[in-house]
Amino acid sequence: MSKFDVIVIGSGPAGYVAAIRAAQLGLNVACLEKGTSKEGKPGFGGTCLNVGCIPSKALLDSSHKFVEAQQDFDAHGIAAKDLSIDVATMIARKDKIVSQLTGGIGQLFKANGVTAIEGAGKVLASKQVELTLADGSTQILEADSVIIAAGSVPVEIPPTPIDNKVIVDSTGALDFLKVPKTLGVIGAGVIGLELSSVWSRLGAKVVVLEALDEFLPAVDKQISKEARKILTKKQGLDIRMGARVTASEVKRNKVTVTYSDKDGEQQLVFDKLIVAVGRRPQSEQLFSADSGVTIDERGFVYVNDYCETGAPGIYAIGDIVRGPMLAHKGSEEGVMVAERIAGKNAAMNYDFIPSVIYTHPEIAQVGQTEEQLKADGVPYKIGVFPFAASGRAMAANDTDGLVKMIAHADSDRILGCHIIGPSAADLVQQVVIAMEFGASSEDIGLTVFGHPTLSEAVHEAALAVEGQAIHIANRKKRK
């Protein structure tokens, strides 16, 4: 029986970060990974690096460059005619990036002394872990602490069974070898919109079917309204809300999708169908009955604020526990847990976790939305600045969107920031830092920002909270 100070199950952004940090703190660490890459190598990096965050962003960037050259270069005086996209080369580039990053994790494990083990882990009683190798053989590992970071998998729905040919999930959508003429996407959430953007830019006629009536309900309404306008009117996505898919039929390499909406039953035929209705925790067959770990009805592992399960010495982090399924959230939980195991008094602030949708323009937010504050009865004030008034955005010919800053009406402390626009993911991070330090909108307004930069839009939005924006006309305050 092998013994470690810490065993980590899963090597995604939560697991590999936890393993490395624990090793940095002097602990003897093993990290178990059951997944494999396309090349048959250990799938270090989990969903994010192999079939999620990284490959999708590679395709989003490739497709954005293509459509930018196709539609926007003329404005810069650049003649680019008869453009074409080599999908195979685009996919190969994506795969190369994935291979470099997953291989990099293996090198980081070696550099930090983490023992990487290929195989599936199952948590038993008394902090023992059953390791199942690829050949089916098993052995028992023992640890002082166990960190579960098994991640999540795409949700499947009965009306559209995945066949990995015509009907695919988010993983399959990253490996199309040619652009489908017609593409259906079920789900207008983060994953659905990002994948829709990729293939729409490359020429597919895309219809997005969303069962909910409200578009991006977790996003500030002013931002979601602006996003829908840009994605549909400017970019041509056909987004149908209140469309509940009830059946599908595959014939002759095409799929007929039946859905119901306010007008009754409808049917559409597509060359490909992507099912992107969310993800669920990968917790099946992960625990023995006597492990002491509690799982709720949705498959999430129950943990407290410090990611401790009900079993002493057993922790769970990342997509498998409560909170947003975000790689950076899981990574920070991994750091917190590793440090607590090492005896440090570490904690994590869940109030200021940024979230991003990598469409173009990007959509990013942190803190509370205007709707949440209104529902909670919190007094607030708002400052808005459009990128259309940004000199840097004009120079880049990228002026869609706005920055919305929300501060407490009395204390002026920043309560939320919501951005749709160029580099929104990077811009919102400035506000995350400010909120961590309890900053006010005045604090940001008094800060010197470089000129000309996109970040000046954040500065101006903060100034606009008090009607002091310089580069737009300020709204008159109500008396």
Nearest to 295 by CA among 306, 285, 305, 283: 283
Q: Is residue 477 part of a domain?
A: no
The Cα–Cα gap between 368 and 351 comes to 9
Q: Is residue 187 part of a domain?
A: yes
Place of tokens 């199950």: 9
Based on the domain organization, do 292 and 419 belong to the same domain?
no
Residue type, 194: E
At 475 the pLDDT is 83
Based on the domain organization, do 24 and 138 belong to the same domain?
yes
Q: Is residue 141 part of a domain?
A: yes
Based on the domain organization, do 287 and 269 belong to the same domain?
no
At 479 the pLDDT is 46
What are 340's two structure tokens? Answer: 């607590």
479 residues of the chain, pLDDT tens digit each: 699 999 999 999 999 999 999 999 999 999 999 998 888 888 999 999 999 999 999 999 999 999 999 999 999 999 988 999 999 999 999 999 999 999 999 999 999 999 999 999 999 999 999 999 999 999 999 999 999 999 999 999 999 999 999 999 999 999 999 999 999 999 999 999 999 999 999 999 999 999 999 999 999 999 999 999 999 999 999 999 999 999 999 999 999 999 999 999 999 999 999 999 999 999 999 999 999 999 999 999 999 999 999 999 999 999 999 999 999 999 999 999 999 999 999 999 999 999 999 999 999 999 999 999 999 999 999 999 999 999 999 999 999 999 999 999 999 999 999 999 999 999 999 999 999 999 999 999 999 999 999 999 999 999 999 999 999 999 876 54
User: Cis peptide leading into 361, omega within 30 of 0?
Assistant: yes
The CATH number of residue 393's host domain is: 3.30.390.30
At 42 the pLDDT is 85
With b meaning 16 or more CB within 10 Å and e meaning fewer, what string describes 435-451? Answer: beeebbbbebbeeebee
Residue type, 284: E
Backbone angles phi, psi at 153, to 5 degrees: -135, 160
Nearest to 113 by CA among 9, 12, 22: 22
For residues 208 and 193, the answer to whether their CB atoms sit within 8 Å is yes
The Cα–Cα gap between 415 and 397 comes to 31
At 477 the pLDDT is 67
Based on the domain organization, do 419 and 393 belong to the same domain?
yes
Based on the domain organization, do 200 and 273 belong to the same domain?
yes
Based on the domain organization, do 16 and 127 belong to the same domain?
yes
Backbone angles phi, psi at 65, to 5 degrees: -65, -40
For residues 200 and 70, the answer to whether their CB atoms sit within 8 Å is no
Q: Which of 277, 309, 331 is the last residue of a domain?
A: 277
Q: Is residue 159 part of a domain?
A: no
The Cα–Cα gap between 374 and 351 comes to 18
Domain extent for 300: 2-154+280-351
The CATH number of residue 175's host domain is: 3.50.50.60
Q: Which of 248, 277, 306 is the last residue of a domain?
A: 277
Residue 155 CB burial class (10 angstroms; 0-12, 13-18, ≥19)? middle
Based on the domain organization, do 285 and 273 belong to the same domain?
no
The Cα–Cα gap between 91 and 262 comes to 39
Nearest to 316 by CA among 78, 72, 146: 146
Nearest to 254 by CA among 155, 154, 159, 163: 163
At 476 the pLDDT is 75
How many independent structural domains does the chain possess? 3
What are 456's two structure tokens? Answer: 């000046």
The Cα–Cα gap between 265 and 337 comes to 50
Based on the domain organization, do 325 and 378 belong to the same domain?
no
Place of tokens 């023995």: 288
Residue 235 CB burial class (10 angstroms; 0-12, 13-18, ≥19)? middle
Q: Is residue 58 part of a domain?
A: yes
CA distances in angstroms from 423 to 329, 363, 429, listed in the order given:
20, 9, 10
The Cα–Cα gap between 15 and 6 comes to 11
pLDDT digits (tens, 9 = 90+) for 256-310: 999 999 999 999 999 999 999 999 999 999 999 999 999 999 999 999 999 999 9
Q: Is residue 332 part of a domain?
A: yes
Backbone angles phi, psi at 250, to 5 degrees: -100, 125
Based on the domain organization, do 177 and 272 belong to the same domain?
yes
What are 415's two structure tokens? Answer: 């309560």
Residue type, 402: L
Q: Which of 240, 256, 277 is the last residue of a domain?
A: 277
At 81 the pLDDT is 87
Based on the domain organization, do 268 and 322 belong to the same domain?
no
pLDDT digits (tens, 9 = 90+) for 315-341: 999 999 999 999 999 999 999 999 999
Based on the domain organization, do 63 and 208 belong to the same domain?
no
Looking only at the bridges linking them, the beta strands covering 128-132 and 244-251 are: unpaired
Q: Is residue 474 part of a domain?
A: no
- Enzyme catalytic residues: 451
Place of tokens 């040619």: 178
Q: Is residue 471 part of a domain?
A: no
Based on the domain organization, do 329 and 346 belong to the same domain?
yes
